[in-house]
Structure 1
Amino acid sequence: MNKEIRRGALALMLGLSAFAAQAQDKELNLYVWSEYIPDDVIENFTKETGIEVNVTNYESNEAMFAKLKLTNGAGYDVVVPSTYYISVMSKDGLLQKIDKSKLDNFKNLDPALLNKPYDPNNQYSVPYFWGSTAIGVNADEIDPKTITSWKDLFKPEYKGRLLLTDDVREVFQIGLTLNGFSANTTDPKEIEKAYETLKPLVANTQVFNSDAPRLPYLSGDADIGMIWNGEVYMANKEGGNLAYVYPKEGAIFWVDSFAIPSHAEHTEAALKFINYMMRPEVAKECVEYVGYATPNLPGKALLPDALKNSKVIFPDKATVDKGQFQTDVGDAIGIYEKYWTKLKTGH
């Protein structure tokens, strides 16, 4: 083969390779919580970039993590884990480092929500929303002023009217908090003590729901219990009358972040999508849709005053300081899960 033919073959191979890469960039597989991104935000991204977004939903971090573990970080291009799951997944090799040089809009994010212990320097994650888990009260049935504490959920009159999120760490945080323990304890005795505290609460529970916990409130299956702040916002938009109470012992706080699985097939498309989601006008629309707090400062500035000043969406510093963010508990998660199974099976 002479030099001219070799050069031609090489050029053809490079051209085909570039074409294949470009074709790959026209698709994005997004694995995300249900009802978390407005449809028109995704549609506008596709119109602008030509990248088709395939959306798959999950209802818990545990389900998402199990799926990614099974595929070794393949099959999806963007996922949205909560807080300490970023740490767990990066340690397991399920996430790739994010090239922030391709994220022009990263500068829009609140520094107070960056560089957290679960992801120093945000090597693996980009915050999307932050929010809380506290007490939801159907104000048509229960006077919200009578509810001030996690202890109120244990009252016998709420038996069969109670909702808990289907989340081991969130539910155990109630038991740990009431005993004066850290939400992130790894001490088996403290976890066991929380289990003993929680047994009567779980016995009173009508439903566990971490998919759309507002729906049992709206249908009348639950009148009080745990709920996320955004679900209260959405429920009231849908005609409900839910109050949101931050318990005096402190609420549960979390951050949901965009991350790219280690074996994502469309990394460039993933980076374009994450950068697009950090545009101020997009961040504003997402808050208006789902009612969680955005870390996007110029996006927050665009919000109407009613949302910007809402303590349900944006709690004040004193409320946040009283609560706790969850961190990775390492192998102790096995202890939590053991007692969680006992709780849910009534043993």
Structure 2
Amino acid sequence: MSTITQRGLQKAGLSRRSLLTATGAAAIGLTFTACGEKPKATPGGEEPKLNFYNWDTYIGETTLGDFKKATGVDVNMSLFATNDELFAKLKAGNPGFDVIVPSNEFVTRMSQAGLLEPLDHAKIPNMKNIDPSFLDPEYDPGRKFSMPYTWLLLGIGYRKSKVQGVPDSWKWLFDSDKYKGRIALLSESADLVRLCAKYLGHSVNNIPEDMLPKIEQMLIKQKPFVKAFHDDNGQDLLVSGEVDLVLEYNGDIAQVMKDDPDLDFVVPKEGSLINSDTLCIPKGAPRPNNAHAFINYLLDAQAGAEISKTILYPTPNAAAKALMPDDYKNNKVIFPPADVMAKCEYGAFEGAEKASQYEELITRVRAA
């Protein structure tokens, strides 16, 4: 797909995941290729090529072409829709990907399953640009397998003219008929279960077994009032007027708020779930030197700023953030205040059995 077409998709407000649903790309294996001159030979004896497996609309408008101009390496970008899809694809054997973008708990899950290559930090000098607070996360101590790409925070996107006051509690999504038929929930099972636990006063992690039936019954009771379970295109439902309240990521709502002043975003008072998307090299990557060079390029200050200008997600790249305009750096939707963040947590990978338990719970809710 050309840069022009990709830019059009960005302006259409498609999230990092929603494009796949619209185009059927998950089924046909849609691939983006950087445009430019014929690739030159690269050091290290690798062919001047790289296969990048990414979320949709989750890269700068010219990033792939700029990397090719700088290195001669042509990037083919294929798309996945969920972490589960990414995990299943790699579990079956790496079909040729060099760099992938799993979320935090899937870094843990994939590294434990032997699906990731350890990173050579000496080949990633731009690691120095990362905010120190992101250098030693619990999901990947010492950044052995991953480099941070973005971070994300779930909250409630809403239309101000249709909602009374600020919907500052998960109650309005999970436990109330006040906006029946005007609500959309994210379809990812672990996120939903964890946020319900947060609403009920528990951490998003180590949820006790006896709380799960309470969560299930609460969501089954709420289901008749829910318009849709969406695949991370909740901002589109909000923009179109199909719903007035939506569970969605801060970056997605920040994108559409630029063009619609009637939209806003709030992190509920109970706290929320933080996610982080990362850059990893999968086991068996055919071009590990090119992979390290690409990750290092994405962590460059200017390249990182160009990515952030396009996708409007919070960046963990301190050098890139410093180059961004004030309306990004001071945007409280993109970077919520410290007192809000203090109530938010990362979700930890607690084993495949627990992940399946959450998936089965939400399957039962949706079938009820």
TM-score by length of 2: 0.84
In structure 2, how many angstroms separate the alpha carbons of the residues matched to 1:192 and 1:247?
23
Percent identity over the alignment is 32
Partner of 1:68: 90
1:159-186 CA distance string (max 9 Å, x none): 2221111211111122111222221125
Q: Which of 336, 344, 347 is the equivalent residue of 2:366?
A: 344
Report how many residues are paired: 326
Structure ranking higher in helix proportion = 1
1:90-136 CA distance string (max 9 Å, x none): 01111110111100100110111121111111100000101201001
Does residue 256 of the first structure (1) align with residue 277 of the second (2)?
yes
Partner of 1:7: none
Q: Name the amino acid aligned to 1:303.
A: M
Q: Aligned to 2:90, what secondary structure does the other structure show?
A: helix
Partner of 1:52: 74
Query: Following TM superposition, by how much is the alpha carbon of 1:20 offset from its aligned partner in structure 2, in angstroms?
Result: 10
Query: Following TM superposition, by how much is the alpha carbon of 1:188 offset from its aligned partner in structure 2, in angstroms?
Result: 2.3
Does residue 150 of the first structure (1) align with residue 170 of the second (2)?
yes
In structure 2, how many angstroms separate the alpha carbons of the residues matched to 1:157 and 1:20?
60
Q: Which of 285, 288, 291 is the equivalent residue of 2:309?
A: 288
Query: Following TM superposition, by how much is the alpha carbon of 1:21 offset from its aligned partner in structure 2, in angstroms?
Result: 8.2
Give 5+ residue unaligned stretches, structure 2: 1-40
Q: Which of 191, 198, 204 is the equivalent residue of 2:225?
A: 204
TM-score by length of 1: 0.89
In structure 2, how many angstroms separate the alpha carbons of the residues matched to 1:130 and 1:20?
32
> Is 265-274 or 196-205 further displaced after alignment?
196-205
| Aligned residues of 1:188 and 1:335 also touching (Cα < 8 A) | no
Partner of 1:311: 332
Change (3 A) 1:90 1:237: same
In structure 1, how many angstroms separate the alpha carbons of the residues matched to 2:155 and 2:235?
13
Does residue 88 of the first structure (1) align with residue 109 of the second (2)?
yes
Q: Aligned to 1:293, what secondary structure does the other structure show?
A: coil
In structure 2, how many angstroms separate the alpha carbons of the residues matched to 1:240 and 1:22?
51
In structure 1, how many angstroms separate the alpha carbons of the residues matched to 2:285 and 2:261?
40
Query: Following TM superposition, by how much is the alpha carbon of 1:238 offset from its aligned partner in structure 2, in angstroms?
Result: 4.5
Partner of 2:18: none
Q: Aligned to 2:269, what secondary structure does the other structure show?
A: coil
Partner of 2:35: none
Q: Aligned to 2:104, what secondary structure does the other structure show?
A: coil
Partner of 1:267: 288
> Is 47-56 or 243-252 further displaced after alignment?
47-56
1:278-316 CA distance string (max 9 Å, x none): 111111122211111111111111111111111111112
